[in-house]
Amino acid sequence: MSTDVVPASQAARTARAPRTRSTRHRARAATPWLFASPAIAFFTAFLIIPIGYALYLSFRGYRVSGGAFGRREETFVGLENYATALSDPEFVAGLGRSLIYGAIAVPSVLGLALLFALLLDHPRVPGRSFARTAIFLPYAVPGVIASLLWGFLYLPSTSPVSYVARELGGSSVDFFGYPALYFALANIALWSGVGFNMIIIYTSLRSVPTEIYEAARIDGASERQIALRIKIPLVTPALVLTGLFSVIGTLQLYSEPATLRPMSNTISSTWVPLMKIYQEAFMNDNLGGAAAASVVLALGILALSLLLLRFFQRRTFGGAA
C-alpha cells in the first residue's frame, strides 16, 4: 500500500535536487543514512541477526555420541529438521486446525467490527463515546487472562451457561468438545479482537469527507444505503488491512489454546503450529527442529499475506491507481 506513496515523494525530492550544489549534494546524500542509522542498527541487531541465527539453528541438531548416558553435542544435520517439520502429520494437522479456527473467527470478528463501526458512525447514535470505549475495552485485557476468564466460563462446574442449562433440565454444555471448541476459541478472539478492528475501521470512516454523505442525502439515499453503497466501499482498504492482520493472527494462534489446554482433554500439546514449535524448543530441547518449523511457518505466512494482498489490491486499489 505504501509503495504507491514512496515513489511520489522521491520524485518530488529528485525534482528539487538539480538546484543544490554538488558538494552539498554529497553531504546531503549521507544525511538520511545518518538519521536512519539507529533504526538500521536496531533492525540488524534485533531482527536480521536473530533471523539469521534461527536459519543457522534450523540446520543444526543435538546428537549423542557414547553409550546410554553419552553426551549430546550440537552438530550440522543438513535439511533433516526441514524434512521432519514438513513430514510431521501433527504440524500439518495443526495448520489445518488454525485454518478452521480462522474460517470462523476472521469473518465474525471483521463482520462485527464493521457493524459496530457503522453503527457508531450513524449520525444519531446516543452514548457514542461510551459505547466505543466499552467495545474497545476487552482489547486491553491480555490474551492469557482473557483465556483464563473464558475458561472458567466454559468449564461445566463453573460455567453460568451450563448452570442455567442444568436448572432448565438440560445437561452441561460441552464447550471443549468438537466442533464447539473452535467456536469457543473464536469467541475469545471475538471478545477481545472486535474492539481493535472496530477502531481501525471507525477511524477510516471518520476520515471520509462529509460532503459525500450530504450529496448522497440530497440524492435521496437512506442511512442504510449510505452505509452499504458509500461507507463500506470507502473503508475497503481498512477492511483489507484488518483482514490481513487477522489472517496472520490466525496462523500465529498460541496463547488461547495453550492457556485452555490444562483445562481440557481436547487440546493436544501440539494443537496449533506455534504450540508444536514451543513444545519442540522448550520441552523437547530440539531448538533446531523448532527453528526449522518456525522458518516454514514464517514463509507460509509471508506467502499467504502476499497472495491475499495481491488479490485484494487488484480488486480494491486496482481501478484507482
What's the closest the beta carbon of residue 197 comes to other proteins, in angstroms?
5
Q: Name beta bridge partners: 71.
A: 65
Q: Which is nearer to other proteins, 204 or 250 (CB)?
A: 250
d(CA 57, CA 46) in angstroms, rounded, equals 16
Tell me: does residue 117 bind other proteins (CB under 8 A): no
Q: Name beta bridge partners: 62.
A: 74
- Whole-angstrom CA distances from 270 to 88, 266, 311 are 11, 11, 32
Tell me: does residue 155 bind other proteins (CB under 8 A): yes
> Judged by CB under 8 A, which stretch of 11-19, 107-115, 215-223, 311-319 contacts other proteins?
107-115
What are all long-range contacts of 220-229, with beta carbons under 8 Å and residues at least 24 apart?
223/122, 223/123, 227/118
What's the closest the beta carbon of residue 3 comes to other proteins, in angstroms?
18
- Whole-angstrom CA distances from 101 to 65, 90, 267, 280, 296 are 43, 16, 13, 23, 20
- Length of the chain as a residue count: 321
Tell me: does residue 59 bind other proteins (CB under 8 A): no
Tell me: does residue 81 bind other proteins (CB under 8 A): no
Candidates 69, 89, 129, 220; binder of other proteins (CB under 8 A) is 69
Tell me: does residue 157 bind other proteins (CB under 8 A): yes
Candidates 88, 131, 156, 182; binder of other proteins (CB under 8 A) is 156
> Is the omega angle on the peptide bond into residue 179 within 30 degrees of 0, that is, cis?
yes
User: 314: closest CA among 246, 236, 249, 232?
Assistant: 236
d(CA 170, CA 157) in angstroms, rounded, equals 14
What's the closest the beta carbon of residue 248 comes to other proteins, in angstroms?
5
d(CA 8, CA 321) in angstroms, rounded, equals 13
Q: Which 187-246 positions form the footprint of other proteins (CB under 8 A)?
A: 189-190, 192-193, 195-197, 242, 245-246
Positions that interact with other proteins (CB under 8 A): 46-47, 49-51, 53-54, 62-65, 67-72, 105-106, 109-110, 113, 139, 143, 146, 151-152, 155-158, 186, 189-190, 192-193, 195-197, 242, 245-246, 248-250, 252, 254-256, 262-266, 268-270, 274, 277, 279, 282-285, 287, 291, 294
